[in-house]
Amino acid sequence: MRILLTILLLLAGVVGSAAADDAVQELERLGGRVERNDEGEIVAADLSGAAGVNAGLDLAAGLTRLQRLTLPARVDDAGLALLKPLKELQELDLRPQYTLTATGLAQLRSLSGLKALRLPPQTQDGGLEFLRVLPRLERLDLSRCSQLTNAGLRELAGLAALRSLSLAEVRGLTDLGWRELAKLTTLESLDLSRTSINDDGLPLLRPLSKLHSLNLAGTKIRGEGLVYLAEMNSLQSLDLEQTKLRPDTVPVLAKLMSLRSLVLPAGMTTAAVSPLQSVSRLEVLSVCDSELDDVGLACVASLRELRKLQLNGARISDAGLAHLSHLTELEDLNLTGTGVTDAGLVHLKPLVKLVRLSLNGSSITLSGVVRLFVRDQRRSLSEALRALGVAVFDEQGRIVSIDVAGTDFGDEEMQHVAPLTTLKELHLAATKVTDAGMIHVKPLIHLERLYVAKCNITDAGLAHVAGLPRLRAINLYGTKMTTAGLEHLAGLEELRLLSVTDVKLKPAMVDQLKQKLPRLTVSDYTPE
């Protein structure tokens, strides 16, 4: 009897496995994808590419070991009912589903294993009743659920495992609602950005002693209530961006010795920021559009663990940058709209961990940054361009595109392009590149698109393009090439597009080139 039972169980496993494989094949046909764990079990499914209402949900319901499910673009209440068998589902995002009602959301009460849930913006108070029976829920996102009121927050009272809650842009809450929040003493992360909370509401949050992260961006906080936040010894991240915070109320935040990240609103002064130098564990500090000057920057520079520093709009100079030379852990620096120039970059030489540098609206040039990275820090051009956000990298981390159009990028910088042999696209339009710099294009054998419009390039520079076997498009608009330069393009068998607007060429020679390259399209040119 035991042997027979074993055989039946084995057969059932084989049949179940075959059914699962069939379901996966059909899901993939619909545009879905699945993910397996090390044991070969299907633990995740992505149906975002499946078209149609509830597309693929009937098939996904048979994959009972699913832990994560990305829904198709359109799901209705009937679709949610199909998810009942997925008892092990841990994460579900319903944000894009604008047709779901409270009736549909009630179907989720069977998913007792849920740990992370994001609800759609039309959710109302009554639609939260099912949360009572989700004892494992740790992360709940109710952001943009603008119809929620204080009554809805009462439905969260039984979520004993809740660690993260977002109520961003839920503006219908009052002090009664904050009192309900205060009962969720397991909370470690709370997002109240763009809600109606003000200084009077802050003392009501005092019971949340485990809070690590608090987002108050875009609220009515003016500063009087910060004294209550200063009592939250566990607080590590505080966001006060776009509030009406008075500078004179900020120094009390220096009591938050565990603080790692602080975002302050516009209008901060050196007097407001200087006391924060005692918060020695700060790793992120944002002081945008402030009155912070070089003296204040000296105080900021004492925060030796800083990894990200946002100073856009600050009143600092090249001399002030000298204070930053001690911040050797810095990875992200924003100097947008400041008065610093290339001369100040010399002070950043010790910051060899920089991976992002924002400079819009400053007088710092691209060539200045390249000198900092390549000459002073002995790093690569690709690292400099990545930091400036003008390069694209593939999944393997190889550089595939550079766009420095309209900058002072010139022949000196071009010499560092030659080693970047994985490049597929190079935008040099309206730069300072000349024939001398074009020689460094020759090693780029994978290059497919080259844009050198409005550059001081002649036929001599164009000769260096002749050996690029994969080139499909080249833009020579406004250059100094002549008809003679067309011969350098004749061997480019993959060339499909030649843009030569405002270039004088002989029509007969253009036709001859098109005969050699029958798939080539030539843009408007000026007949010679």
Band of pLDDT at residue 26, cut at 50, 70 and 90:
confident
Domain count for the chain, please give it: 3
d(CA 468, CA 527): 27
Residue at which a domain ends, from 54, 89, 124: 89
With respect to residue 443, please indicate whether it lies within any of the assigned structural domains.
yes
Higher pLDDT, 15 or 323: 323
Band of pLDDT at residue 524, cut at 50, 70 and 90:
confident
Whether the per-residue pLDDT at 341 is higher than 50: the answer is yes
Q: What is the mean pLDDT of residues 405-426?
A: 96
When the pLDDT of each residue in the chain is averaged and rounded to a whole number, the result is 93
With respect to residue 112, please indicate whether it lies within any of the assigned structural domains.
no
Amino acid 498 reads: L
Q: Which two tokens stand for residue 47?
A: 């149906």
Band of pLDDT at residue 131, cut at 50, 70 and 90:
very high
Q: Where are the beta strands (DSSP E) in 213-359?
A: 213-215, 237-239, 261-264, 284-287, 308-310, 332-334, 356-358
Beta carbons of 22 and 42 less than 8 angstroms apart: no
Q: What is the CATH number of the domain that holds 305?
A: 3.80.10.10
Q: What is the mean pLDDT of residues 99-111?
A: 93
Phi, psi of 231, rounded to the nearest 5 degrees: -85, -10
* pLDDT value, residue 158: 87
Residues 356 and 430 in one domain: no
In DSSP notation, 84-126 reads TT-TT--EEE-TT-TT--HHHHGGGGG-TT--EEE--TT--GG
* pLDDT value, residue 7: 37
pTM beyond cutoff 0.85:
yes
Question: Which domain does 482 fall in, by range?
Answer: 425-527
Residue at which a domain ends, from 364, 382, 408: 364
With respect to residue 71, please indicate whether it lies within any of the assigned structural domains.
yes
Whether the per-residue pLDDT at 450 is higher than 80: the answer is yes
Q: Where are the beta strands (DSSP E) in 220-343?
A: 237-239, 261-264, 284-287, 308-310, 332-334
Q: Which two tokens stand for residue 170?
A: 């839920």
Strand partners, 140: 117, 165
d(CA 357, CA 271): 26
431: left (phi over 0), alpha (psi -120 to 50) or beta: beta
Beta carbons of 449 and 430 less than 8 angstroms apart: no
DSSP at 276: G
* pLDDT value, residue 227: 96
Amino acid 327 reads: L
With respect to residue 470, please indicate whether it lies within any of the assigned structural domains.
yes
Whether the per-residue pLDDT at 399 is higher than 80: the answer is yes
With respect to residue 126, please indicate whether it lies within any of the assigned structural domains.
no
With respect to residue 124, please indicate whether it lies within any of the assigned structural domains.
no
Q: Which of 464, 362, 369 lies closest to 413 in space, CA to CA?
A: 369
With respect to residue 46, please indicate whether it lies within any of the assigned structural domains.
yes
With respect to residue 191, please indicate whether it lies within any of the assigned structural domains.
no
Band of pLDDT at residue 17, cut at 50, 70 and 90:
low
Residue at which a domain ends, from 345, 364, 383: 364
Q: What is the mean pLDDT of residues 223-237?
A: 96
* pLDDT value, residue 27: 85
Band of pLDDT at residue 24, cut at 50, 70 and 90:
confident
